[in-house]
Structure 1
Amino acid sequence: MAEHIQLSIALCRIALYTCFRKLCCKGPPSPRPEYDVVCIGLSGAGKTSLVSRLCSEALDDIVPTTGFSIKAVSFPNAVLNIKELGGADNVKKYWSRYYQGSQGVIFVLDSTVSDEGLEACRSELHLALQHPQLCTLPFLILANHQDSPAARSVPEIKKYFELEPLARGKRWILEGSSINNLETVRESFRRFISLLEERELQSIRM
């Protein structure tokens, strides 16, 4: 009799353990794809602040990137390894050295800059869109500081940058952004990830 009782107790323990595993220990989640992307833009565009906010970091300790930094930003369906390059003149001339291995490009511009500054942004974006290592990659172009009264609208920037003729046939998104509206920024990145996925699928088919 005692053996039957011990056996019953053991079977109950196994059953309870199995139920516990099913309810609480579902195992590691399936791995998300990772994409290596480069983030460029002139000084003051707000690249560092945007990336830091996406990483849920406090803005108090943020300093402008003088060389480059790499941060992994997690999204529900992917992880972006963002290589942010400083926008100062003495760094900008070396941008192309960091392009190799990139699967996508994030270009951030300050939508409140002067006409001269906007022309400089336009020039840098055109160079990036035509660079041999970047020209076939998806682009996410963010017109930052849209919460400022001095910000130019996204349609105005799109027209001024002549994106339709220059980027025809390329995968690109132009969106407004602000660190004070992070959900909108995340939605722009989700669309960007879709472009990265499409390019990867196309490469597999080829």
Structure 2
Amino acid sequence: ICSNTDFLLALCQRVLSCFRALCCKGPPPPRPEYDVVCIGLTGAGKTSLLSRLCSEGTDNIVPTTGFSIKAVPFQNAILNVKELGGADTIKKYWSRYYQGSQGVIFVLDSACSEEDLEAARTELHSALQHPQLCTLPFLILANHQDKPAARSVQEIKKYFELEPLARGKSWILDASSVDNMDAVKESFSQLIKLLEEKDAETGRI
């Protein structure tokens, strides 16, 4: 009888353990959130990329005036992206919105004119050297790769002189297009890894 009692007790404990494992896990731990600033000239495609990442429509996209904020969800993190308008009248105020940023997304039109490409180069160089951004991870997207005139990542890398300028910094340069959002998501996942590494380093300090 004792043996049967012990067996039933063990069985009940096992069933209770399984029930707790299935039903009493509690809510999953919150995903870390990172504040990221997104900059680039008007027409680079910042708003379209961010809208697609948030599963929003892009049929009525208009250039951002001032700034907008989107919470872009990923499996292991949430990026609170502050997108700044790229018009000449707005660019001069970009630095007012840098405070509190933990990472930078710079979007450029890889199929733009030589004049606009030079302007994008100037703005990226300025951001890479800005006191509030220079130590942060950068994701640089050579956007509009679906256009026939698009320059390759290697051409952009050489023209922007990224190797000497960004040496010692955490940065990624990737091709992008709204026609290939899987690649864009992968680029953002790489940025999240850099943000996590930066976060871990700060924690150790």
Q: Residues of 2 paired with 1:160 and 1:168: CA distance?
A: 15
* 1:185 corresponding residue in structure 2: 184
TM-score by length of 1: 0.89
- Listed as ranges, the matches of 1:144-155 within 5 Å are 144-155=143-154
Separation of aligned partners in 2, 1:50 and 1:63 = 13
1:95-128 deviations in Å (ceiling 9; x for gaps)? 0000000000000000001111111100000000
Provide Cα deviations, 1:128-181, integer angstroms capped at 9, x if missing partner: 000000000000000000111110000000000000000000000000000110
Cα distance in 1 between the residues matched to 2:76 and 2:113 = 38
Looking at structure 1, the residues matched to 144 and 60 of structure 2 have their Cα atoms a distance apart, in angstroms, of 19
- Report Cα offsets for 1:45-66 as digits up to 9, x if no partner: 0000000000000112322111
Aligned to 2:140: 141
Change (3 A) 1:115 1:29: same
Q: How many residues align structurally?
A: 193
Q: Secondary structure at the match of 1:140?
A: strand
Report deviation, 1:26: 3.9
In structure 2, how many angstroms separate the alpha carbons of the residues matched to 1:25 and 1:51? 36
Stretch moving more, 94-103 or 20-29 = 20-29
- Normalized against structure 2, the TM-score is what? 0.89
Question: Which residue pairs with 2:81 in the alignment?
Answer: 82
Distance 2:23 2:67 in 1: 41
Q: Which structure 2 residue ranges, 5 or more long, are not aligned?
A: 1-14
SS at match of 1:152: coil
* Seq. identity, %: 76
Q: CA 1:58/1:18 → structure 2, altered by over 3 Å: closer, same or farther?
A: farther
Q: Which amino acid aligns with 2:186?
A: E
CA distance in 1 between partners of 2:19 and 2:55 (Å) = 33
Question: Structure 2: which amino acid aligns with 1:64?
Answer: P
Unmatched 5+ stretches in structure 1: 1-15
Cα deviation for residue 20 of structure 1 reads 6.8
Residue matched to 1:194: 193
Deviating above 2 A after TM superposition, structure 1's stretches of 4 or more consecutive aligned residues are 16-27
Report the counterpart of residue 10 of structure 1 in structure 2: none
Map of 2:106 onto structure 1: 107
RMSD (Å) for aligned C-alpha atoms: 1.7
Equivalent in the alignment of 2:11: none
